Every structure is written in C-alpha cells, then in structure tokens.
Amino acid sequence: MTNTLAIILAGLVLAGLGLDYLLGTGAGLFLARRFLDLVDWMVFWR
C-alpha cells in the first residue's frame, strides 16, 4: 500500500465517522463493537 492510498483511505474513514457523528446514527459504535468481536474470535482461533 502506498502512502497516497493510505492517506486517502484514512480520509474516507474519518469522513465517514464525521458524517455518522453529524447524522447521529450511532453506526460507528456498532461497527467498533463488531470489530472487537471479530478480533476476539480471531485470537481464539490463533
């Protein structure tokens, strides 16, 4: 992954989180919880 691509992806993630905050949907918290569940599942199978 190039630096340019990493910066673009980081900007998209931050823009999505900002939009979620402005709209008040709470999807960011949901995705964070699901990501932690995924990490726990992956650690179990390691």
pLDDT attached to residue 40: 92
pLDDT attached to residue 4: 93
- Tell me the mean pLDDT per 10 residues along the chain, length 46: 90 86 81 89 80
Task: Please state the domain extents for the chain.
Answer: 3-45
- Alpha-carbon distance of 17 to 28, in angstroms, equals 6
Distances, alpha carbon 30 to alpha carbons 2, 8, 23, 33, 37, in Å: 29, 23, 15, 5, 11
pLDDT attached to residue 23: 83
pLDDT attached to residue 44: 74
pLDDT attached to residue 7: 93
